[in-house]
Amino acid sequence: MWRRRAFLKAAGAGFAASLLPRRAAALERAELVFASSVQKREGGYAAALVTEAGDLVSSVDLPERGHDITFSPTTGQGVVFARQPGTFAVIFDPSDGTPPRTLTSVEGRHFFGHGAFSPDGKLLYATENDFENARGVIGIYDVAGGYTRIGEFDTYGTGPHEMLLMPDGETFVVANGGIETHPDYGRSELNLETMDPSIAFIERRTGRLIGQLRLEAGLHQLSIRHMAFDHRGRVWFGCQFRGPSADRPQLVGYATQDGEIRLIELPETTLGELRNYVGSVAASADGGRIGVSSPEGNTILAIDPDTATVVASLGLENGCGIAPDSVGLLASSGDGALGGFAGSPAPMTTFELNFDNHLRLLKAV
């Protein structure tokens, strides 16, 4: 029987203790603040808040490698999820020195690294793996009850990765990557022959499946993993291809709740630069640009969703995280770089840490 790791000793070495003096100033000056999981240069992992000016605002240590961070729309509390197959999520408050707390996934489940709050901030949802049954679930946590897990919904697929709350506040969209993993085998992929990726639209309050979209059958090894909304409310998604490396299928597309799903046609050379691997997808503040990144190909693209064409590209070694500022997009890298492109004037700066795959803009509450 697989058991959860005894990791609690390492968690929450103290958010307050690691606050830097500039933190308050940065927050008060209303500079843009971004959040990302990071690897520390001295070893170990953390979640960090940084400014586009190059300042490290604060950080909270993590027991192991983290992945995405989501923020409560009402309290501003952040939750950083463990990278799969991790079993922790650390909750921290960027606005004060409240000590972080650690949430542990329940027996038989682990986190996939992504999650979302309800619009009223009362519930937290996380993509999780029911690994004995190779079934994706959304774990539901009651915030006021100390983040107790009060239930779960099916994601109607295997290996769910990113989940987002649709602009209507009532519907989840979940990227079922289709890849079966089991913690007994680490991150090994166990079903590459029979993968069945999909995008599922799910009612937030009931867990009912509203609709599920799949790419054509010949693309069953195209794992749908990350998503963002454009200004028309369409769901843009990025894929990772698990078939023969000599093949170069299209990797970026969009889906709608009306049941449309299509891959856009990126030029062959652009596709080559993505190396069959999109690591994150994010939209600009107005939804008029969609950023997609490939840390494998050291390439970040900005796509105009109206024309489905690439309008800007940035070569960034190990670049993966993308987040909006007010006018364009910022990208972060596994080598510690952070800077703007696609309209953002933010200069390229370098931090003494390595950014993980996702970058999030911290919004004022």
Partner 1 sequence: MRLLIALLVALIAVPALAQEQKLTANEVVELAITEAIRPGFARFAEEAGSLKLNVEALGATPSEATLETARNQFKSAVTAWSRIELYRIGPLMAENRSDAILFWPDRKGIALKQVQGALAEADQTAASAETLAGKSVAMQGLGALEFLLFGADSETLAAGADFRCKYAAAIAELISGRADEMSAEWADPAGFSKRLLEPSASDPDYRSTREVLEALTGLLAHGTEAIRDQRLLPFLGRDGAAPKPKSALFWRSGMTVPSISANFEGLKALLRDSRIAEATSPDQQWVGQSAGFEFGNAERAEKLVTKPVEQAVGDPKQKKALDYMVIVTQSLDTILGENLAAALGLSVGFSSLDGD
Residues making contact with partner 1 (CB under 8 A):
1-6, 39, 67, 83-84, 113, 161, 182-188, 190, 192-193, 225, 244-246, 248, 272, 275, 277, 279, 295-296, 298, 317-318, 320, 333-335, 354-357
**How far are the Cα atoms of 2, 75, 139, 191 from residue 363, in angstroms, in the given order?**
39, 11, 24, 39
Question: Which C-beta is closer to partner 1: that of 84 or that of 102?
Answer: 84
Question: Which C-beta is closer to partner 1: that of 120 or that of 132?
Answer: 132
Question: Which C-beta is closer to partner 1: that of 39 or that of 118?
Answer: 39
Burial class (CB in 10 A: 0-12, 13-18, 19+), 1: exposed
Amino acid code (one letter) for 186: G
CA distance 17 to 300: 35
- Nearest CA among 315, 287, 297, 309 for reference residue 227: 287
Question: Which C-beta is closer to partner 1: that of 21 or that of 43?
Answer: 43
Q: Could you tell me the smallest distance in angstroms from the CB atom of residue 340 to partner 1?
A: 19
Q: Could you tell me the smallest distance in angstroms from the CB atom of residue 313 to partner 1?
A: 16
Q: Could you tell me the smallest distance in angstroms from the CB atom of residue 357 to partner 1?
A: 6
Q: Could you tell me the smallest distance in angstroms from the CB atom of residue 122 to partner 1?
A: 28
Question: Which C-beta is closer to partner 1: that of 204 or that of 226?
Answer: 226
- Residue pair 94/59 in contact (Cβ under 8 Å)? The answer is no
Q: Could you tell me the smallest distance in angstroms from the CB atom of residue 83 to partner 1?
A: 6
Q: Helix, strand or coil for residue 330?
A: strand
- Nearest CA among 288, 234, 290, 294 for reference residue 262: 234
- Within a 10 A sphere around the Cβ of 135, how many other Cβ atoms? 18
